[in-house]
């Protein structure tokens, strides 16, 4: 994320490389979405930019969507413990206090992460900035009952929410 918020007018002047350099972080380790959305310029607002990014995501193949989901870390998982999260993921997980789990809470998150990944083949993704530890755990349990296709759709929807919040942090109209 840039140190200072970008203005939408400024973003509209970026060449594709600059656009991706400034906005490629919005979708976790998946800058090709920003590269494709660049073609939809000019953007009237941050909401318009978000719609363009999400249109690229919606048009993506099933394999591309799964790859994007898999780019996300487990919640309170090994990457978090090792300090290997992106800056955005670190802040987001901290916003729900996932960086301050008790040993029992950590064990619960580990068990649920493992069960979810075993069932679906990708990590559990939720917009943690809209949740608490308790609501995340409840969503884990609920979503473990879903079919894989429903979980792909749910994860993509959660990723769109994460992207909207990341954009709001980085861009102003």
Residues with catalytic function:
72
Distance CA 46, CA 2 (A): 15
Q: Using N-to-C axis directions, what is the helix angle for 46-59 and 148-170, rounded to 10°?
A: 150
Q: How far is CA 98 from CA 1, 135, 154, in A?
A: 21, 12, 21
Judge whether 122 and 69 are in contact, CB under 8 Å. Answer: yes
SS3 69: helix
Tell which residue, 72, 146, 81, 144, has the closest CA to residue 115.
144
For residue 42, give the H/E element and its range: none
């Amino acid at each position: 994320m840039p140190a200072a918020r970008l203005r939408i007018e400024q973003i509209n002047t970026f060449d594709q490389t600059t656009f991706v350099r400034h906005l490629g972080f919005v979708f976790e380790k998946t800058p090709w979405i920003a590269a494709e959305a660049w073609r939809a310029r000019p953007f009237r607002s941050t909401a318009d930019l978000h719609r363009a990014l999400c249109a690229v995501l919606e048009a993506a193949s099933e394999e591309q969507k799964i790859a994007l989901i898999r780019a996300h870390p487990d919640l309170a998982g090994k990457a978090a413990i090792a300090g290997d999260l992106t800056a955005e993921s670190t802040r987001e997980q901290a916003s729900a206090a996932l960086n301050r789990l008790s040993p029992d809470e950590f064990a619960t998150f580990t068990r649920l992460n493992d069960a979810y990944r075993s069932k679906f083949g990708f990590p559990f993704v939720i917009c943690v900035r809209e949740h608490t530890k308790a609501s995340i755990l409840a969503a884990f349990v609920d979503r473990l009952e879903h079919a894989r296709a429903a979980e792909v759709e749910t994860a993509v929807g959660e990723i769109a929410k994460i992207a909207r919040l990341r954009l709001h942090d980085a861009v102003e109209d």
